[in-house]
Amino acid sequence: MLALVTGASSGFGYSIAKELIRQNYKVIGAARRADKLEVIKNELGDNFCALPLDICDTSAQIADKLNRLPSEFAISQIDVLVNNAGLALGLEAAQHAKLDDWYTMVDTNIKGLMTVTSIILPYMVDKHSGLIINMGSIAGTYPYPGGNVYGATKAFVAQFSLNLRADLAGTGVRVCNIEPGLCGGTEFSEVRFKGDLEKVKTLYDNKNPILPEDIANTVAWVVSQPKHININRIELMPTSQSFSPLKVTESTKA
């Protein structure tokens, strides 16, 4: 069995690659940082193929890299695509957010995911088999202050996953959207807070968040389901996370 995991250089992607290899998969691990992927290859061995790749590149550039992989990692043979690469930038209210950050989130979480999917999908349809696992987020379902474009990109991922299912009816290709809440042990918040480690620490301290291994276990469970079962979506939170009341402010005078 062969899997392509995007965002494999850290966090969930690394743990997912490790778990799938433990389950006898071969894994193509894609991310921008070649040095990180090389360290992971040294750890995980020959069943891991490091693929330095920016999912924001053009479809032709990405397809070209994927087509040059060694035959045992041929894209025509990919059984599982884990569209995990993604990021949040900033937690400011929309009126204070940076437009460039918004564009980067859209380019990565939406357009990059679409590009990789569009390259791999025809091969899966041709062999009447395949599983696409998208990494959504609770931010795609529940609004929160500062979640603006990040949450909107994950709402796209959730609806794209369901619409893919509609299009793929009868093809044997399955699609699942995993929607985690607060997860620690990744670079996610360091990226979101642009290196402000104090903010990162405050967010996770004493929260007992989900860990990358938990997400890897979730992926392992999804891939272990028999082919006649499609897990449409999975939403998971740490027990320490739940919901706030709706906010009501005093009305403003014009």
150 is catalytic: yes
CB of 155 to ligand NDP, least distance (A): 12
Considering only 36-44, 61-69, 136-144, 160-168, which stretch makes contact with ligand 8X3 by CB under 6 A? 136-144
Strand partners, 26: 2
Q: Specify the residue, 132 or 158, whose C-beta has the smaller distance to ligand 8X3.
A: 158
CB of 141 to ligand NDP, least distance (A): 11
Question: How many secondary structure helices (H) and strands (E) does the chain include?
Answer: 9, 7
Query: What DSSP designation does 168 have?
Result: T
| 32 interface partner picked from ligand NDP, ligand 8X3, none, CB below 5 to 8 A per type | ligand NDP
Q: Is residue 137 near ligand 8X3 by the rule CB under 6 A? A: yes
Q: Is residue 182 near ligand 8X3 by the rule CB under 6 A? A: yes
Q: Specify the residue, 25 or 177, whose C-beta has the smaller distance to ligand 8X3.
A: 177
For the purposes of burial, counting CB atoms within 10 Å of the CB of 165, is it exposed (0-12), middle (13-18) or buried (19 or more)? middle
CB of 60 to ligand 8X3, least distance (A): 30
Q: Specify the residue, 107 or 235, whose C-beta has the smaller distance to ligand 8X3.
A: 235
Instruction: Determine which residue in the list 52, 172, 181, 238 makes contact with ligand 8X3, applying CB under 6 A.
Output: 181
Q: Which residues bind ligand NDP (CB under 6 A)?
A: 6-13, 31-33, 36, 53-56, 84-87, 108, 112, 135, 137, 180, 182-183, 186-188, 191
Task: For 180-236, give the DSSP string.
Answer: E--B-SSSHHHHHTTT-HHHHHHHHTTT--B-HHHHHHHHHHHHHS-TT----EEEE
Residue 179's nearest CA partner among 215, 132, 213, 205 is 215
Strand partners, 135: 178
Residue 84's nearest CA partner among 9, 141, 165, 190 is 9
Q: Specify the residue, 130 or 212, whose C-beta has the smaller distance to ligand NDP.
A: 212
Task: For 139-151, give the DSSP string.
Answer: GGTS--TT-HHHH
Q: Is residue 138 near ligand 8X3 by the rule CB under 6 A? A: yes
Residue 65's nearest CA partner among 29, 110, 109, 20 is 29
Q: In whole angstroms, give the CA distance from residue 85 to residue 221.
A: 20
Choosing from 14, 25, 123, 150, the catalytic residue is 150
Q: Specify the residue, 8 or 120, whose C-beta has the smaller distance to ligand NDP.
A: 8
What is the set of active-site residues? Answer: 150
